[in-house]
Structure 1
Amino acid sequence: MSTLTMDKQSRLSLGNKKKKRANSFKRTKKTTLSSYKRKSPRSLTGIGQIIVRTIMTLLLLSFVAALSVGMLYGYRYITSNPYFNLTEIHVSGNTRLSYSDVLSNADVALGLNSIDMNVGEVESRLSTNPWIQSVTVRRELPNRLRIGIVEKVPAFWIRQGDGLYFADANGKVIAPMHPGEIASLPVLSVADNLNDSQQVLTGILQKMAKKQTPFTQNQAAWIKLTSAHELEIYLDGHAGGQGLTVKLSMDRWEVQLERLKVVWRDLMRRNEFDKASIIAASGDKIWIKRRPVPAKG
């Protein structure tokens, strides 16, 4: 019994060892085959991807090149097609500048291709004109152009050297006055180093525009902001051309203007207005300088 048992165990062990070696060989073979199968496709896929990417890149470049050429020919066709040539140019907002002045400054004309025209450059050219405050240019396809202008409004003349210049309500020079130009504007003179000159100037002009002064801007021959910190206005048509000067302190000019209006009305009521050559405010008082009585011959 013992011998039989040992033989069986020996045969079993031998069988197991053979099976183990066989299984080990199979696993090794499977592993080698699976490794080969895994590595080979990866290597082939990498090469394939490079080829595919190269082809796609070439196709994309070819497409872009073809598209660019097509767009270039399309642009040339549109910009040479008479269907888009300007047949109407509308200009609005211009009073001082004529229609031809605007078109000349803009460098546009009928027949110009509206697609080929650069709207930004047109606006830029017009903006260089000293009389134009702002401008908008709008293209209306196929053949219309609209130019809207806001012009600067002159409020004064200013002397600079031997020349006379137009200036706006802030006293800023616009452009020189040329022979033949006609305008009824007061001459403005502003002393140096006056910090509040612009505020006072704007304020008195607003009062005149709203008819809150006993005189108008058109009646003023000149307006001065002096180094003595006074606002002086000369009315050359007063008393049959004899003239009247109004003086207000710049720091209290609004209060003094209201008092001056009371004195003004009183002089008119008493028929003594034409006898005054200067009406001035000093502190809380208004004083009047009468013009000399002409000597009897």
Structure 2
Amino acid sequence: MSTLTIGKQSRITLGSKRKKRSNSFRTQKRTTLSNTRKRPQRRLAGIGQFMVRCVMLMLTLSLVAVLGVGLLFGYRYLTTHPYFELKEIHVTGIDRLNRGDILKSANIGLGLNCLDMNVGEVEQRLSANPWIESVTVRREFPNRLRIGVEEKVPAFWIRQGDGLYFADASGRVIAPMHPGEMASLPILTVAEGLDEGPAVLRGILEKMKEKKTPFTQSQTAWIKLTSAHELEIYLDGHAGGRGLTVRFGTDQWETQLERMKVVWRDLLRRNEFKDAAIIAASGEKIWIKKREPSEG
């Protein structure tokens, strides 16, 4: 009995395995058939999506092209329309230069289209003028332009080679002096290697302007900054044209100027000022060189 039971169980077991294998084969076959049917559908869907993307891309490019042409046409229309033609150009801040000089340097004029004009380029052209320190250019639509100019102010004449040049308060050359130009300025001479030179020049001119010196710029014939670090000023109208030289050290010139003013007033009070040929500061002292009797 036990042997038969084992045999039956064995048959049953074998039979169940065959059924499982058969079912598994059928399932795999169905899955394979199902996948085979889905692949063409997926390919068709992928092709469709690609075509849609191509159409959308073409539509986008067409739209961009239409917009570009429209913007270009609009720009050309606005930059040639008479409504934006310049009818007013206001120029302020000029003294030495005149309106014609400004318009010529800027290369602009009435009738120019306000939109077509490049403000940055106009400012660059004006800044290239040697007499212009700074400039601002501003459009006021539809047809007005404002130009604000700050000119360089000449304070000296300075010699370079055989020519005479205008120079500013720091001693920087501005432009050559041309025949027919009139000005009353002192001649400046500066020794090489004086780093303090520009600051000293600006300072003494500011003192003159504020009337804090016993002499004025108009009385000054020349100014020298020497290699000995001294500031020399020659006043040609002193003592009936006999002249007076004033000398300071560049490192203490402001303090020495205050001491010199005391001596200056004392000479005037004693009626001895006309006899002075040189008034010089040396350290904390002020010394005076009187005129030779033959110079009187």
Q: TM-score, structure 2 length as denominator?
A: 0.89
Does residue 1:71 correspond to 2:71, yes or no? Answer: yes
Cα offset for 1:139? 1.4
Equivalent residue for 1:53?
A: 53
Does residue 1:109 correspond to 2:139, yes or no? Answer: no
| Cα deviations by residue, 1:97-153 (Å, 9 ceiling, x for unpaired) | 111111111111111111111111111111110011111111121111111111111
Distance of aligned partners of 1:201 and 1:9 in 2 relative to their CA distance in 1, 3 Å threshold? same
When structure 1 is superposed on structure 2, of 4-13 and 229-238 the one drifting more is 4-13
| Cα deviations by residue, 1:41-64 (Å, 9 ceiling, x for unpaired) | 443333233322322222222222
Equivalent residue for 1:87?
A: 87
Equivalent residue for 2:278?
A: 278
Amino acid at match of 2:129: N
Task: State the secondary structure of the residue aligned to 1:178.
Answer: coil
Cα offset for 1:24? 1.9
Distance of aligned partners of 1:34 and 1:150 in 2 relative to their CA distance in 1, 3 Å threshold? farther
Equivalent residue for 1:23?
A: 23
Task: State the secondary structure of the residue aligned to 2:68.
Answer: helix
Amino acid at match of 1:228: A
Amino acid at match of 1:255: T
Does residue 1:181 correspond to 2:173, yes or no? Answer: no
Equivalent residue for 1:210?
A: 210
When structure 1 is superposed on structure 2, of 49-58 and 136-145 the one drifting more is 49-58
> What runs of 5+ residues in structure 2 fail to find an aligned partner?
none
When structure 1 is superposed on structure 2, of 25-34 and 180-189 the one drifting more is 25-34
Amino acid at match of 2:140: E
Aligned residues: 296
Amino acid at match of 2:155: A
Equivalent residue for 1:236?
A: 236
Equivalent residue for 2:253?
A: 253
Task: State the secondary structure of the residue aligned to 1:247.
Answer: strand
> What runs of 5+ residues in structure 1 fail to find an aligned partner?
none
Amino acid at match of 2:106: A
Distance 2:236 2:138 in 1: 47
Amino acid at match of 2:214: P
Does residue 1:195 correspond to 2:206, yes or no? Answer: no
Structure 1 residue ranges (4+ consecutive) displaced by more than 4 angstroms after TM superposition? 4-19
Equivalent residue for 2:150?
A: 150
Distance 2:280 2:19 in 1: 131
Cα offset for 1:89? 0.9
Task: State the secondary structure of the residue aligned to 1:278.
Answer: strand
Distance 2:259 2:216 in 1: 17
Distance 1:127 1:249 in 2: 37
Amino acid at match of 1:279: I
Identity, in percent, stands at 68
| Cα deviations by residue, 1:18-59 (Å, 9 ceiling, x for unpaired) | 753553244213321442355344433332333223222222
Distance 2:43 2:258 in 1: 99
Say what the alpha-carbon RMSD is for the aligned residues.
Answer: 2.7
Task: State the secondary structure of the residue aligned to 1:239.
Answer: coil
Cα offset for 1:241? 2.3
Equivalent residue for 1:292?
A: 292
